[in-house]
């Protein structure tokens, strides 16, 4: 590793000018240069430059939130690959905020964003099943740590999904099928959709990038955090900060967006159903820490944290805390409180934060640079080292 003035950055891959980086020692200063995984993570001390956080437990009005785009579309049964089609509707997405910002759970109100699959009663196959889907507005997410607090439905016959997506052959997917749940086992489906899964008729179960572990808790009985950490060489899946599996083939190398979805098409081999009565999947939060493929965001990072930066003015990396989940999940005041960098304006000074993220109790808009805005360019000295079959990019950082 090349060191200059006791400070260096190492980048995992030369696939992008700004990918996953490693620091000698992340500090607790304001998060001007990024958000780092803990030192015991794999890869260790990886950090990301950008952030998207939404506290759905306290969000009163989704229409004021500019980070998310509710989906509205229909899919025919043939296109949905099932006996039923799908109808994504805005009316199937409801906010249900807790009464106070100090409340993180209630015996009377579960709270959170509600994604509904509408019951079909005794209607015969061939129609459309109402569903709910919400996608991030940002589509420049290239590698990162993506986390969602979710309480899945106990109503049989739906698929609840939390995934990163570019297209049907580049997708990182966590899917829970309510029909697979029972008193003794709680399986979850972890998938990398790839060209191989497309060749198998999008049945990823017949490919190497499919895993079907059982969760150590009931996912329908409370909020739990579901997470995937994506690097150029691997995707690691977690539940409540416990590693479930790591995949190392068919890793996407392009930017995309994240999506929350709750649907059914009656496919006996997957979602089953559809349910006879309405089924709800609840979302407590989303936290996404990632690198941006947008060149203006990369230029802004270089301006703030690259070679033109004065050592005395260097800000720090903020370490991303793991989810701390009590028995029964994150469903009450004792266990539901979770940390958001966005609660403190000093932690998000260079981020674009939705005015609708916090409903007035904490900063609505950061001071930072938005995607698509440039505040100058800098020059960085790059040295490419080849170690085995991997390209390692080292950026010498020094004052100009």
The pLDDT score that the predictor gives to residue 15 is 34
SS (H, E, C) the chain: CCCECCEEEEECCCCCCCCCEECCCCCCCCCCCCEECCCCCCCCCEEECEEEEEECCCCCCHHHCCCEEECCEEECHHHHCCCCEEEECHHHEEEECCCCCCCCCCCCCCCEEEEEECCCCCCCCCCEEEEEEEEECCCCEEEEEEEEEEECCCCCCCEEEEEEEEECCEEEEEEEEHHHCCCCCCECEEEEECHHHHHCCCCHHHCCCEECCECCCCCCCCCEEEEEEECCCCEEEEECCEEEEEECCCCCCCCEEEEEEEECCCCCCCCCCCCCCCEEEEEEEEEEEEEECCHHHHHHHHHHHCCCCCHHHCCCCEECCCCCCCCCCCCCHHHHCCCCHHHCHHHCCCCCCCCCCCCCCCCCCCCCCCCCCCCCCCCCEEEEEEECCEEEEEEECCCC
In this prediction, residue 128 carries a pLDDT of 96
Residues, the chain = 400
In the prediction, which pLDDT does 383 show? 25
> Could you state, in order of their start, the residue ranges of all structural domains in the chain?
1-400
Q: For 46-88, write each residue's pLDDT tens digit.
A: 889 999 999 999 999 999 999 999 999 999 999 998 999 999 9
Question: What fold characterizes domain 1-400?
Answer: Jelly Rolls (2.60.120)
Spatial separation of the C-alpha atoms in residues 319 and 26, rounded to whole Å: 7
Cis omega (within 30 of 0) on the bond before 137?
no
Determine the Cα angle at 238 with ends 98 and 92, to 5°: 40
Q: What is the pLDDT of residue 303?
A: 84
Question: What local confidence, expressed as pLDDT, does residue 104 receive?
Answer: 86
Q: Tokens 């959170």 label which residue?
A: 112
| Residue segments in the chain with a per-residue pLDDT below the cut of 70 | 1-29, 41-45, 106-108, 307-315, 326-329, 355-400
Contacts with 268 (C-beta within 8 Å, 6 or more apart), sequence order:
none
Token couple for 30: 């304001």
Contact 76, 121 (CB under 8 A): no
């Amino acid at each position: 590793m090349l060191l200059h003035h006791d400070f260096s950055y190492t980048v995992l891959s030369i696939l992008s000018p700004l990918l996953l980086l490693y620091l000698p020692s992340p500090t607790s200063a304001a998060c001007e240069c990024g958000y780092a995984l803990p030192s015991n993570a794999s890869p260790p001390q990886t950090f990301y430059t950008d952030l998207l956080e939404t506290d759905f437990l306290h969000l009163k009005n989704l229409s004021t939130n500019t980070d998310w785009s509710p989906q509205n579309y229909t899919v025919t049964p043939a296109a949905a690959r099932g006996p039923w089609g799908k109808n994504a509707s805005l009316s199937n997405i409801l906010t249900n905020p807790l009464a106070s910002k100090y409340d993180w759970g209630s015996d009377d109100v579960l709270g959170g964003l509600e994604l509904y699959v509408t019951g079909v009663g005794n209607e015969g196959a061939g129609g459309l099943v109402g569903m709910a889907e919400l996608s991030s507005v940002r589509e420049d997410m290239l590698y990162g740590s993506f986390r969602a607090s979710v309480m899945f439905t106990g109503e049989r016959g739906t698929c609840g999904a939390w995934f990163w997506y570019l297209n049907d052959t580049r997708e990182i997917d966590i899917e829970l099928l309510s029909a697979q749940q029972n008193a003794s086992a709680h399986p979850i489906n972890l998938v990398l959709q790839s060209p191989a899964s497309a060749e198998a008729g999008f049945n990823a179960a017949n490919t190497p990038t499919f895993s079907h572990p059982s969760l150590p808790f009931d996912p329908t009985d409370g909020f739990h955090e579901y997470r995937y950490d994506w690097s150029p060489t691997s995707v690691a899946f977690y539940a409540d900060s416990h590693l479930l599996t790591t995949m190392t083939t068919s890793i996407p190398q392009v930017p995309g967006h994240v999506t929350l979805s709750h649907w059914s098409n009656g496919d006996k081999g997957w979602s089953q159903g559809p349910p006879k009565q309405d089924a709800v999947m609840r979302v407590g939060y989303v936290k996404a820490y990632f690198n941006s493929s947008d060149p203006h965001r990369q230029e802004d990072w270089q301006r703030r944290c690259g070679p033109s930066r004065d050592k005395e003015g260097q800000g720090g990396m903020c370490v991303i805390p793991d989810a701390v989940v009590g028995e029964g999940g994150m469903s009450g005041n004792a266990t539901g409180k979770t940390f958001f960098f966005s609660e403190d304006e000093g932690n998000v000074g260079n981020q674009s934060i939705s005015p609708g993220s916090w409903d007035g109790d904490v900063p609505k808009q950061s001071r930072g640079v938005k995607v698509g805005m440039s505040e100058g360019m800098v020059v960085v000295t790059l040295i490419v080292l080849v170690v085995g079959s991997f390209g390692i990019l080292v950026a010498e950082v020094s004052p100009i």
